[in-house]
């Protein structure tokens, strides 16, 4: 019994880490490339890869390139036709909201099971 519970705990832990690993990459990219929350959200909506932002953020070595922050804003305007997203959420806030939503769904699922005899 104890081994099963431990195996389930590991499985659940891996799933949680996998979701956080994506967001953790964006948090690190935000710090490394000095991006704002809005710029990170724009880059995510554009489908950019946080690990490959370094290739785009070398405007000091390659002077013909635009700085990454300006490049993201330019692409977002070109793609979506507006200068920035309507509502900006930081990655931490987004994770918190997802966690709260997940807990609410779990609680809603538990309630009907507890009410039925």
Cβ–Cβ under 8 Å, residues 32 and 65: no
What pLDDT does 114 receive?
Answer: 65
Cβ–Cβ under 8 Å, residues 27 and 91: yes
Q: Is the pLDDT of residue 12 over 80?
A: no
| Of 81, 89, 79, 78, residue with least CA distance to 39 | 89
Q: Crossing angle for the helix pair 68-80 and 37-46, nearest 10 degrees?
A: 50
CA angle 81, 82, 85 (to 5 degrees): 130
Spatial distance between the Cα atoms of 17 and 20, rounded to a whole number of angstroms: 5
What pLDDT does 113 receive?
Answer: 65
Place of tokens 């290739």: 55
What pLDDT does 117 receive?
Answer: 60
What pLDDT does 16 receive?
Answer: 56
Residue 84: burial class (beta carbons within 10 Å; 0-12, 13-18, 19+) = middle
What pLDDT does 36 receive?
Answer: 96
pTM of the model: 0.74
Compute the average pLDDT of residues 31-53: 96
Spatial distance between the Cα atoms of 115 and 117, rounded to a whole number of angstroms: 6
Report the percentage of the chain scoring pLDDT > 70: 79
The whole-chain average pLDDT of the chain stands at 86
* Model pLDDT for residues 63-111, shown as the tens digit of each residue: 999 999 999 999 999 999 999 999 999 999 999 999 999 999 999 988 8
Domain ranges for the chain: 2-111
What pLDDT does 11 receive?
Answer: 55
């Amino acid at each position: 019994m104890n081994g099963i519970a431990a195996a389930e705990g590991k499985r659940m832990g891996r799933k949680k880490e996998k979701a956080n690993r994506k967001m953790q990459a964006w948090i690190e990219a935000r710090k490394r490339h000095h991006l704002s929350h809005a710029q990170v959200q724009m880059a995510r909506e554009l489908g950019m890869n946080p690990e490959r932002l370094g290739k785009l953020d070398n405007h000091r070595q390659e002077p013909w390139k635009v700085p990454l922050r300006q490049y993201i804003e330019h692409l977002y305007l070109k793609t979506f036709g507006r200068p920035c997203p309507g509502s900006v959420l930081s990655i931490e806030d987004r994770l918190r909201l997802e966690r709260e939503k997940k807990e609410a769904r779990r609680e809603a699922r538990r309630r009907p099971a507890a009410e039925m005899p």
